[in-house]
Amino acid sequence: MRLEFLSLPENVGLARVAVAAFVAGRDLQVNELEEIKVAVSEAVTNSIIHGYKERSDGVISVTASLYDRFLEVVVEDQGKGMSDPNQVMKPGVGTDPERVGLGFMFMKSFMDEVDVWSEPGQGTKVKMVKLLPDKTNTPGNSRENGG
């Protein structure tokens, strides 16, 4: 699935709901789905706030790919980028006091793998991988949608 949209705050919800709908056929627990939604929300929010500095005419793309054992989500912008993406992944690094530097921490906590590529002026690409239950035992297995 690939979705492109403008860097508007109302599109954060669109992005996470689209990815959640995309994985709906898989046997995910409610909390796993919630974690994917938060991670997508954080990546798209970063593109809007940091990549495009709240400009509303930037374009953000979300690409989701479903494999047997994992979901891969790539969130990409052509915004201002950064020279040291590893720096922003440290907890507590944030510029705005109301934005508490939790975004990457949630992405890393809720997904199994998070990689960031960025260059100043070249935009930012965030790739996140979430391991999924093996779909070969999906029908009629005993996993319950707890929560």
Residues near another protein (CB under 8 A): 9-10, 12-13, 16, 30-31, 34, 37-38, 41-42, 45, 48-49, 97-100, 102-103, 105-106, 109, 147
Minimum CB–partner distance for residue 51 and another protein (Å): 13
Quick one: 80 or 135, whose CB is closer to another protein? 80
Task: Work out the number of other CB atoms within 10 angstroms of the CB of residue 89.
Answer: 17
Minimum CB–partner distance for residue 136 and another protein (Å): 28
Minimum CB–partner distance for residue 99 and another protein (Å): 5
Quick one: 46 or 78, whose CB is closer to another protein? 46
Tokens standing for 87? Answer: 């720096």
Quick one: 92 or 139, whose CB is closer to another protein? 92
Residue 58 in contact with residue 78, Cβ under 8 Å? yes
Catalytic residue of the set 11, 16, 35, 46: 46
46 catalytic residue (yes or no): yes
Instruction: Of 10, 67, 59, 43, give the one whose Cα is nearest residue 116.
Output: 43
Dihedral sign, Cα of residue 117, residue 99, residue 63, residue 113: positive
Could you tell me the CA-to-CA distances from 40 to 103, 115, 138, 144 in Å, in that order? 10, 13, 24, 24
Catalytic residue of the set 11, 32, 35, 42: 42
- Rounded distance, CA 64 to CA 109, Å? 19
| Catalytic residue ranges | 42, 46, 99
